[in-house]
Structure 1
Amino acid sequence: MRELTYHDFLATFGIGGAHPGGLALTRDVVAKERLTPVSQVLDAGCGTGQTAAYLAKTYGAQVTALDQHPLMLQKAGRRFQREGVRVQLLQGDVHRLPFPDKSFDLVLVESVTIFTRINTALGEYARVLKPGGVLLDLEMTAERPLSAKELEELSSVYNTRQVPTETEWTGRLQGIGFESISVVRGGTVASAIPNEQTPEQELPEFEASQDVDPRLYDIWSAHQALTEKFSRRLGYRVYRAVRKK
């Protein structure tokens, strides 16, 4: 029997806007990028297509959505058809993006890079960006360096190899060749959990599949336990970086 993963859980339950801040945060950070109908945008790791559909509908941009998980692609495709938006939908791996160099004005990534070989993925984002193009990458960030035991505990659920601090993320982006690197939004996991004091933070959306493997509920439970346990040791940041001209 195949071992199930955290991404199987996200795909089966069709969780859109699972990243901290949800679509409300996405809307806020993207609004500052002045997208137009001629902007070429890549949503790398698009999931159920919530963000890609929003970008196409709101800005009329030329949006390409890419994901590796077949079920995510199915649900994204249904969304684009249902909402009547034109988005190019592709299956692909961020370690080997199936696009020529200098293809996009904006690469948007939401809670994806942390699950990858980080430097390889960042290098691919840089490769497919046009000179002067922008990377917006929302990623899990350690509020302080984590111990080997803490990393092992997180890896048991998320299969993450490492969780960089803000300084380490910035250093990796600089090492890849990005410039004008800044953090446009961020906070701890605790600060991103919706409550009465933060009504602007939207709850994730769900589109659950009919057949749910019971093992996925164990992954959900483990995820919730880690979210609570690491709520102040883990955070998120939206990193904005520009590809050198």
Structure 2
Amino acid sequence: MRGGEGVNYLESLAKLGVGGAHPGGLKLTKEIVAQQSIDHTTKLLDIGCGTGQTAAFIANQYACSVTAMDIHPIMVEKAKQRFLDGEVPISVVQGNIEQMCWSEQFDIVLSESVLAFTNISKSLTSIRNVLKCNGCFLAVEIMVDESVGESDKHAIASFYGFRHLLTETEWREKLSQSSFKQINIEQPSLNPLPITIDEAQDFHFSNSEIDEALDILHQHQALTKRYKEKLPYAVFRCTK
């Protein structure tokens, strides 16, 4: 099962303007950030920000400095519009997280279902570089069970466009190799399938290729249900 030649999974999220597309959705995001010490002095970077749902929530809830970043131009435009409509003072940057230009500027870097689409080693090095000393990296990422065979891994990676599918052990190794400390990986008990056609509460449609994008999203639902026991997601917390 593939995402198709015209519109793939990430393109579908962009064209449908899906907010909270990561596992656990905004509910999980709220739980994650509530456990951090965030106030008006905090500088937070949301990488792979999508339509800006998470960034807007954090800026409104904690009145802190938030920078949002995404590589996809449609996502960047939708995030900008969200912040404009909500009068939220967030800086939006289009760029590649593997090549971020900041240096030790952020107290927290947040990544929600982003790293698997990138060169993970390069991304983690870049993330560590933009964090201040003792800064915190928070992530929500898919893991693959060690029992999953290569053919299933290929099918999953091909559909989503993942460059890597890692086990928990492999994630720990990657984080450690990138010199992160106090590495903690937890599997939350929230519903792992936040995106459904009927229940999604944050869609901002673009006009083109909607039918094809919706079809891809239906395929996503079928795939996640098929592999839900083999593709757990986890919350990563670690420090620089």
Partner of 2:11: 8
Match of 2:85 among 82, 85, 92: 82
Q: Which residue of 1 aligns with 2:138?
A: 136
Match of 1:111 among 105, 110, 113: 113
SS at match of 1:210: coil
State the SS of the aligned residue for 1:234: coil
Residue 173 of structure 1 and its aligned partner are, at CA, apart by 0.4
Q: Deviations over 1:4-51 (max 9, x none)?
A: 321110011111011121111111110111111111100000000001
Hey, what's the Cα distance between the residues in 1 that align with 2:39 and 2:62?
Answer: 6
CA distance in 2, matches of 1:29, 1:162: 24
Give the deviation of 1:59 after TM superposition.
0.8
User: Percent same amino acid among aligned pairs?
Assistant: 37
- Indicate the residue corresponding to 2:57 in structure 1: 54
Cα distance, 1:145 vs structure 2: 4.7
Q: Is the 8 A contact 1:37 1:60 kept in 2?
A: yes
Match of 2:35, SS state, is helix
Give the aligned partner of residue 199 of structure 1. none
Give me the whole-angstrom Cα distance separating, in 1, the residues matched to 2:6 and 2:119. 21
CA contact (8 A) 2:16 2:213 kept: no
Once the two structures are TM-superposed, the CA of residue 208 in structure 1 deviates from its matched residue by 1.4
Cα deviations by residue, 1:58-98 (Å, 9 ceiling, x for unpaired): 11111000001111111101110111110000100011113
Structural RMSD (CA): 1.8
- Higher mean alpha-carbon deviation, 223-232 vs 66-75, is at 223-232
What are the equivalent positions in structure 2 for 1:1-245 lying under 5 Å apart? Answer: 3-99=6-102, 101-186=103-188, 191-193=191-193, 203=200, 205-243=202-240
Q: How many residue pairs were aligned?
A: 232
Q: Is the 8 A contact 2:108 2:138 kept in 1?
A: yes
Whether the 8 Å CA contact 2:14–2:74 is kept in 1: the answer is yes
- Structure 1, gaps ≥5 residues long: 195-201
User: How has the CA–CA distance of structure 1 residues 145 and 116 changed in structure 2, closer, same or farther, with 3 Å as cutoff?
Assistant: farther
* Cα distance change on mapping 1:204 and 1:93 into 2, 3 Å: farther
Measure, in 2, the Cα distance between the counterparts of 1:88 and 1:131: 22
Task: Give the counterpart letter for 2:92 in structure 1.
Answer: L
Q: Deviations over 1:117-141 (max 9, x none)?
A: 1111111111110110000010011
Q: What's the secondary structure of 2:99's corresponding residue?
A: coil
Amino acid paired to 2:84: Q
TM-score, structure 2 normalization: 0.91
Give distance in 2, aligned partners of 1:204 and 1:122. Answer: 31
Distance 2:60 2:228 in 1: 34
1:213 Cα offset (Å): 4.8
Shifted more, 130-139 versus 220-229: the winner is 220-229
